[in-house]
Amino acid sequence: MDGATVGAIQKGLMILLGVVEGDTDAQAQTLAAKTAKLRIFEDEQGKMNRSVCDEGGACLVVSQFTLCADCKKGNRPSFTSSAAPQEAKRLYESYAALLKENGVTKVETGEFGADMKVTLLNDGPVTILLDTDTWKKG
């Protein structure tokens, strides 16, 4: 598959998904529902008031274990908090399926665990971190 395009979308969301040890199916459901309903696209007045579903947009979900990096000590990131590959893949695939269940009409994925070349054209200055672990603390 060298050089092959695995997943591609036009208008929508590029989602880099990191799965940490202890993440659950319930968290995947919560995250998928939030992602599908998050009002981050502009309406006619230029206000962020529309969701990816409202826009008829798509989602490209790419597994990104490096988001789980712990950089507290030293200068080399530690990835020990990342979920085991088999569980991370299961939750990654579940999350992508749950996006569809929450109304996203087109969901594309990358190739789990592969060294991919990912290209993004960011239309606007919106990059948002959604972390279900921080939601538990609030």
3 state DSSP class of 44: coil
Between 39 and 6, where is the model more confident? Answer: 39
E-assigned strand segments in 44-86: 48-50, 58-63
The tally of domains found in the chain comes to: 1
Q: Which domain holds residue 30?
A: 12-119
Within-domain flag for 128: no
Q: Which residues of 89-121 are buried (b: 16+ CB within 10 A; e: fewer)?
A: ebbbeebbebbeebebeebbbbebeeeeeeeee
Within-domain flag for 33: yes
Would residue 66 show up in a list of annotated catalytic residues for this protein?
yes
Residue 2 has pLDDT above 80, yes or no: no
From the candidates 24, 30, 35, 66, which is the catalytic residue? Answer: 66
Tens of pLDDT, residue by residue over 48-104, are: 999 999 999 999 999 988 888 889 999 999 998 999 999 999 999 999 999 999 999
Please give the model's pTM, rounded to 2 decimal places. 0.90
β-pairing, 12-17 vs 58-63, is: parallel
Q: What is the structure's pLDDT at 1? A: 53
CATH number for the domain harbouring residue 94: 3.50.80.10
Within-domain flag for 106: yes
